[in-house]
Structure 1
Amino acid sequence: MARKRKGVPRHGWLVLDKPGTMTSTQAMAKVRWLMKAEKAGHGGTLDPIATGILPIAFGEATKTVQYAMDGHKTYRFVCRFGEATDTDDRAGQVIATSPVRPTDAQIEKALEAFQGLITQVPPQYSAIKVDGERAYDLAREGEAVELAARTVRIDGFHLTGRPDADHAEFEVECGKGTYMRSLARDLARAVGTVGHITVLRRLSVGPFSLKDAVTLEQLEQVVADGVPDSLLLPVAAPLDRLPAIDLTSVEAERLRHGQAVSLLRRADLTRLETLRDGAGGDGAALALCEGLPVALVRLDGAEIRPARVLNL
């Protein structure tokens, strides 16, 4: 017999404004404890020094975490020129220095190469696994970690401020898997110096933004007031980019039991075309019944098949 989970079976998303004093896993554990939640997961790791958007999923929302992680992201960071660190941020040890300080014009020119699809090597201190171990664990043990370059998408990289010659402020819009520490490191090299991040803040993840976010202190107050569920966003919140298909109660029941639903009648043609036009290469869609999410589904010919059933 499976062991019963401890906690309250909550379902939905909470958007935390993570403090820069803990890891994403520590922040999620704190939120789960405050909410007394049965099950939780987070939608995309933030560096320990970073603040900002950390979407936390509860219950059935954990089945949609991948869609949050795959969403468009925006960041704001400050780069310190003239010093490189082993972690590419202020938490590390200085490993190189340079007297060179770029002008605004030099920075703007260099930014032209950081647009669209680019390749970047992740920081040595990252959560990427190398032979089954986290890169940051190997780096802390003094091992030289060889991480492969990866392709990432940069939709915007803007110089937004210059407090002094040593520092520059930037905002970035990007796709999944982009490391801000690598961007700062590589930009500094492109302008003939070295650099690292001193301040990093995530402004949005997919549909989640700072307007939805709460701090740990605000969450503690809401929990003390006895209304923690008032902070939860819908389970389907990160699925806004997926096409939706409305089902009858009979069709929804078939999906809930793991069965496919055929769309063969003339009346189904519009629904089928909607899915084919919007589902994209993976054929993913969201099935609804009376406005409530039923399942994440895949289009397979003239059938939809359940990929993840949402038990709400």
Structure 2
Amino acid sequence: MNGFVNVLKPVGATASDVVVCVRHALKEKSGHLGTLDPGASGVLPVAVGKATRLFDFLTDKVKYYRAFFTFGKTTDTLDSYGAVTGKGTVPAEEELIAACEKLTGAIWQTPPAYSALSVGGVKAYKLARSGVDVQLKQRKVTVFELKLLRRQCEDTFVFDVKCSAGTYIRSVARDIASLCGTVAYMSGLIRLQSGCFTIETAYTLDEVRSLGEKCLLDVTYPLSDVESCVLPDNLYDDLDFGRKIACPFEQGYRKIYCRGQLFGLAKNDNGILKLQYYLKNLQEN
């Protein structure tokens, strides 16, 4: 059994909790495609069986979020679960809109100290919890869209964020506030979409438990935007045994088919077709 389950993660559950649920329901090894904090809810795609081979290819996809930022107060974790470490004013909507414009595009972002990034082989959040002053390096991320939607209440505003993988939404809250001369924290987060997996088609954990393999999406589901390349029938054995084949395309990845069968995802490696992700027989669940 190979494929994907689009899970609607509830607030309070960890990404590992979701994986365990899918694994028990489908009786197959599973792994999530990019983590989601326990305090957040929304789309968490889970790869099942040998579909986990596509992990590296799929974790780099664009993410969409509905974020709730509370201004005039911040915490050590930059979310509602941490201890208050600072207070300030609540900015005007005009200031927030201007800050959003400055944070749109390719930007340098400092991840939160309370994150799963590794520092000397130790998770940053573990060091932060033990009292260590964690200083993480800035890294380049892309914010494709950062839009103020509405004012939720006196100090809380709702934003839509479309961003690259690796973007920390808690850091976005901090950086918007900083540009406005104040402080903030992320008080809520919903992931609306991860790659092609959307919240409208996601299954709750209870639905996963009751429906089991009926929740399973085909292994090619997240590859719909990848072009196909059909090779001549006489190259079947060359593909099967990993022999060198001249690559018929220049750039990017292609779904490689031969004799009606999907072999995997390939790219051009100095003129040679390189099967980067081997997917043969994975559609036979």
Q: TM-score under structure 2 normalisation?
A: 0.93
Q: Which residue of 2 aligns with 1:79?
A: 69
SS in 1 for 2:19: helix
Aligned ranges 1:268-307 → 2 under 5 Å: 272=248, 275-276=249-250, 278-279=251-252, 284-289=253-258, 292-307=261-276
Q: Which residue of 1 aligns with 2:210?
A: 221
Q: Shift of residue 249 of structure 1? A: 4.5
Aligned length: 281
Q: Shift of residue 136 of structure 1? A: 1.0
Q: Could you report, residue by residue, the CA deviation over 1:57-95 in whole angstroms, capped at 9, with x for unpaired residues?
A: 012211112222111110001001111111111111111
Distance 1:138 1:70 in 2: 27
Q: Which residue of 2 aligns with 1:63?
A: 53
Distance 2:17 2:237 in 1: 38
Aligned partners of 1:74 and 1:203 also within 8 Å: yes
Residue ranges of structure 2 left out of the alignment (5+ in a row): none
One-letter code aligned to 2:235: E
SS in 2 for 1:261: coil
Of 213, 223, 234 in structure 1, the residue corresponding to residue 218 of structure 2 is: 234
Of 172, 181, 187 in structure 1, the residue corresponding to residue 176 of structure 2 is: 187
Distance 2:172 2:260 in 1: 42
Aligned partners of 1:64 and 1:238 also within 8 Å: no
| Same amino acid, percent of matched pairs | 35
Q: Shift of residue 230 of structure 1? A: 2.2
Aligned ranges 1:1-312 → 2 under 5 Å: 10-37=1-28, 39-98=29-88, 100-222=89-211, 228-262=212-246, 272=248, 275-276=249-250, 278-279=251-252, 284-289=253-258, 292-312=261-281
Q: Shift of residue 195 of structure 1? A: 0.7
SS in 1 for 2:152: strand
Q: Which residue of 2 aligns with 1:267?
A: none
One-letter code aligned to 2:164: G
Q: Could you report, residue by residue, the CA deviation over 1:93-139 in whole angstroms, capped at 9, with x for unpaired residues?
A: 111112x1111111111111011101110011111111111111111
Which is worse superposed, 254-263 or 100-109? 254-263
Residue ranges of structure 1 left out of the alignment (5+ in a row): 1-9, 223-227, 264-271
Q: Shift of residue 290 of structure 1? A: 5.1
One-letter code aligned to 2:217: L
Q: Could you report, residue by residue, the CA deviation over 1:232-254 in whole angstroms, capped at 9, with x for unpaired residues?
A: 11212233343321124543443
Aligned partners of 1:285 and 1:299 also within 8 Å: no
Distance 1:170 1:195 in 2: 13
SS in 2 for 1:62: helix
Q: TM-score under structure 1 normalisation?
A: 0.85
Aligned partners of 1:84 and 1:195 also within 8 Å: yes
SS in 1 for 2:74: strand
SS in 1 for 2:254: strand
Q: Shift of residue 301 of structure 1? A: 3.9
Q: From the superposition, tell whether residues 259 and 173 of structure 1 become closer, same or farther in structure 2 (CA, over 3 Å).
A: same
Q: From the superposition, tell whether residues 183 and 306 of structure 1 become closer, same or farther in structure 2 (CA, over 3 Å).
A: same
What is the root-mean-square deviation of aligned Cα atoms in Å?
A: 1.7
Q: Which residue of 2 aligns with 1:268?
A: none
Distance 1:292 1:93 in 2: 55
Aligned partners of 1:295 and 1:306 also within 8 Å: yes
Of structures 1 and 2, the one scoring higher in RCO (CA 8 A, sep 6+) is 2
Which is worse superposed, 232-241 or 16-25? 232-241
